[in-house]
Structure 1
Amino acid sequence: MKPLRIGIVAGEASGDILGAGLIQALKQRYPQAEFEGIAGELMLAEGCHSLYPLERLSVMGLVEVLGRLPELLLVRRRLIQHFIDNPPDVFIGVDAPDFTLGMEKALKQAGIPTVHYVSPSVWAWKRKRIFKIKQSTDLMLTLFPFEAEVYQPTQQNLRFVGHPLADVIPAQMDLNAARLEFRKESGGDMVALLPGSRGSEIKYLASPFLTTARWLQQRRPELQFVLPAANQRRYDQLQKLIDAEFSDLNLRLVLQQSREVMAAADAILIASGTATLEACLLQKPMVVAYRMAELTYRIYSRMIKSRWISLPNVLADEEMVPEVLQQQVTPEVMGPLVLKALEDDSYRKRLHRVFGIIGEQLRQNASERAAEAVVELLENPSAER
């Protein structure tokens, strides 16, 4: 009997985390299963064969993607043809909907069962995408409980699985060890700076975040700042910037360890993205900021229907953390908001309570639930086709 073959494609680091957890859970059920597609370091460690580097897919923004579009389309065409020529038992697209949904549609039409892991933000913008998703995807795995309602018009086969981050945060976090690792003995509150992992995010957010740290240090000289770099390339890029313009800061630059840094922090200045969910699960006060190319922002801002951009606010269904966008990303705006996050005890207590409830809702043993749903599709692939 041939071993089970599973095609799986992730598009960035957060998808690599989800994909690795799902592969691990599926391997418990199918020890001889083979996985191939596009994988990051974590998926590779689980035995997935990557046909292309994950980093080639990790690009953000409408304008920014234009220069890479021919390459991305070529990679997708080649992957589709590869899987049509060598049909897997199931294909799983992990997030990256602009890339993976097109693959899923072509493969589903070729008779291959398809799964999409992580719903696109149809609740925020382009809600009519649910009809394309129905044509593309036999099974949708969602991370958040409110997403099922959006798909009711198409009767999408859907399973809420929870979020894997909620399964490991804070259960696997030694907060005392984190505090000892990243705090100086001199005391003083610690602020974590997380300007993002993509090159475009560093371009637009690193300098404003560091300038805000300087603004805060001028008012509270005892503050400590820690900036985790996503990888060695970002570390070198940030070190060069710090040496040139911000050597006066009481700042420690570290390689990776973003979750541990957030766990040790008293407040966080952070780019909008998956990291805000980690900060939420760690029950940390934060200021969320984002900047992008102006044309990209103008296009996005006309399409987005959600009141908020950050997951903590979306999940709480109220503004629990301040959001700072585009031209407002300045020390004069962000600095006072970080001070409030540090100093307002009543706000911090309320945030701790609300974020605790969110963590309980999302803690569902996600990778196991996702694997169970995929197994059901494998055992009855024609049920939803």
Structure 2
Amino acid sequence: MRVYLVAGELSGDILGAGLMRALKARHPEIAFRGIGGPRMIDEGMDSRFPLETLSVMGLVEVVKHLPELLRVRRTLKRDALDWQPDIMVGIDAPDFNLGLERQLREAGITTAHYVSPSVWAWRQGRVKGIARSVDAMLTFLPFEAAFYARHRVPVAFVGHPLADELPLVNDRQGAREALGLPASGPLLAVLPGSRANEIRFLGATFLNTAERLCREREALRVVIPAATPARRAELETLLLERQALHGRVTLVDGRSREAMVASDLVLLASGTAALEAMLCHRPMLVAYRMAPMTHWLARRLVKTEWISLPNLIARETLVPELIQDAATPATIAARLAALLDDAEGRADLEARFAEMHAGLQRDASRRASEALEALVAGRALPPSVAPEPAAGEGP
């Protein structure tokens, strides 16, 4: 069996390596070719270009590198046609991979895409192009699978690798001890984001919120994971200006999952961190602020009722979402205070999140490999990974 894989960044390299291991366990003589990073190369990938070749972000950067990206795609197309794989799988990087997948599919090669773009949230018309590009979409989340099934795109819901990685039972006391945090008493984890712009728009708001809560609650402690040294320096500067937080905050490098597990409640920016908090089974509040023009455009383009993944997965509002002008320190602090005072409600949410976690913990790499095998053999996708949406289900 020959599999052509194209990953575009480090997260794709991790996913690709897991997929390769699962396929090798079932087909010891399998061969891999395409683009991968160090993990995929360690699993036997013959990488034709460095992984960084496709790691271009931002409109200006993409336009600047467009001639080179198009050259790479032409080269990969020729290489794949010469090699004649049984299947080509694009791993994320949809702007690059979907075009390559379409060209190879038109040339008679079976194609699949691993990690759905957010087509269910905005520019939903892109699903027509996706249908022409792939023989199947492999999704992490059930509502994504429902969207594709509704649009008659073959789909396999394989579960989420993060759900496989994180345990169904976690140790709050162990996490507190590992981080040097108090063994008892209320603890708030604050995650304002990993990007400079997120600290710019949310850093002061989140720390002002924590300051309000600490003034009101003598026992409250706060833990803040800093994603990078640059983010730590920015957060340290913000903390210096807030006297009420002195001696009440523990700033840690990385270790965001441990911080969330240790906490009773999480305040975070929208994004993957909300999914991680759910998989750590912690109640949370999601807040987000952005540039006014970006928010104006987002309101007109985004078609979903919710922005946080826990709510999207549940199809109901489990997590409070405060966006733009609603995300004020006073409002956020009031909502967090209500959650801190509701121990029974927090326990119910933790139990609900544990159930949702179990639903996503499906051994994603193995299930993805089974779906690819079915495509290569010309069989229907395994019914256990291709759910049919109920009437009205999906974003």
TM interval, short-chain normalised: 0.7 to 0.9
Corresponding residue for 1:81?
Answer: 74
Partners in 2 of 1:54 and 1:189 — Cα distance?
46
Cα distance, 1:23 vs structure 2: 2.8
The change in CA–CA distance for 1:340 and 1:308 in structure 2 (over 3 A counts) is same
Residues 60-110 of structure 1, C-alpha deviations (whole Å, 9 max, x = no match): xxxxx3222314534531331231131162332233433432332233334
Q: Tell me whether 1:211 sits opposite 2:204 in the alignment.
A: no
Is contact 2:172–2:263 with CA below 8 Å preserved after alignment? no
The change in CA–CA distance for 1:117 and 1:337 in structure 2 (over 3 A counts) is same
Question: SS state of the match for residue 121, structure 2?
Answer: coil
Partners in 2 of 1:71 and 1:381 — Cα distance?
42
TM-score, normalised relative to structure 1: 0.84
Partners in 1 of 2:219 and 2:108 — Cα distance?
62
Cα distance, 1:116 vs structure 2: 1.1
Question: SS state of the match for residue 88, structure 2?
Answer: strand
Partners in 1 of 2:112 and 2:101 — Cα distance?
8
Is contact 2:189–2:223 with CA below 8 Å preserved after alignment? yes
Which shifted more, 71-80 or 272-281? 71-80
TM-score, normalised relative to structure 2: 0.82
Question: SS state of the match for residue 50, structure 2?
Answer: strand
**Paired amino acid for 2:221:** Q
Is contact 1:119–1:140 with CA below 8 Å preserved after alignment? yes
Q: Which runs of 5+ in 1 are unaligned?
A: 60-64
Is contact 1:194–1:227 with CA below 8 Å preserved after alignment? yes
Cα distance, 1:186 vs structure 2: 7.0
The change in CA–CA distance for 1:72 and 1:261 in structure 2 (over 3 A counts) is farther
Residues 292-340 of structure 1, C-alpha deviations (whole Å, 9 max, x = no match): 3322222221122211001111111111111111233331122222222
Q: 2:188 aligns with which of 179, 188, 191?
A: 191
Is contact 1:117–1:141 with CA below 8 Å preserved after alignment? yes
Corresponding residue for 2:293?
Answer: 295
Question: SS state of the match for residue 223, structure 2?
Answer: strand
Question: SS state of the match for residue 246, structure 1?
Answer: helix
Q: 1:33 aligns with which of 31, 37, 62?
A: 31
Q: 2:167 aligns with which of 151, 160, 170?
A: 170
Which shifted more, 71-80 or 339-348? 71-80
Cα distance, 1:163 vs structure 2: 1.3
Corresponding residue for 2:232?
Answer: 239
The change in CA–CA distance for 1:151 and 1:346 in structure 2 (over 3 A counts) is same
Partners in 2 of 1:186 and 1:353 — Cα distance?
22
Is contact 2:173–2:183 with CA below 8 Å preserved after alignment? no
**Paired amino acid for 2:52:** P
**Paired amino acid for 1:9:** A
Is contact 1:187–1:222 with CA below 8 Å preserved after alignment? no
Cα distance, 1:55 vs structure 2: 8.8
Cα distance, 1:378 vs structure 2: 3.4
Partners in 1 of 2:88 and 2:195 — Cα distance?
27
Corresponding residue for 1:344?
Answer: 342
Is contact 2:374–2:380 with CA below 8 Å preserved after alignment? no
The change in CA–CA distance for 1:29 and 1:175 in structure 2 (over 3 A counts) is farther
**Paired amino acid for 2:236:** D
Partners in 2 of 1:96 and 1:330 — Cα distance?
35
Question: SS state of the match for residue 8, structure 1?
Answer: strand
Partners in 1 of 2:219 and 2:184 — Cα distance?
7
Q: 1:68 aligns with which of 45, 61, 65?
A: 61
Q: Tell me whether 1:133 sits opposite 2:94 in the alignment.
A: no
Cα distance, 1:348 vs structure 2: 1.1
Which shifted more, 137-146 or 166-175? 166-175
Q: Tell me whether 1:102 sits opposite 2:99 in the alignment.
A: yes
**Paired amino acid for 2:60:** G
Corresponding residue for 2:270?
Answer: 272
The change in CA–CA distance for 1:332 and 1:178 in structure 2 (over 3 A counts) is same
Q: 1:227 aligns with which of 220, 224, 227?
A: 224
Cα distance, 1:189 vs structure 2: 1.8
Is contact 1:83–1:107 with CA below 8 Å preserved after alignment? no
Q: Which runs of 5+ in 2 are unaligned?
A: 382-395
Partners in 2 of 1:366 and 1:372 — Cα distance?
10
Q: 2:19 aligns with which of 11, 18, 22?
A: 22
Q: Tell me whether 1:6 sits opposite 2:9 in the alignment.
A: no
Residues 253-304 of structure 1, C-alpha deviations (whole Å, 9 max, x = no match): 3222221221111111112112211211222110112223322222221122
Larger Rg: 2
**Paired amino acid for 1:258:** S
Which shifted more, 68-77 or 253-262? 68-77
The change in CA–CA distance for 1:343 and 1:109 in structure 2 (over 3 A counts) is same
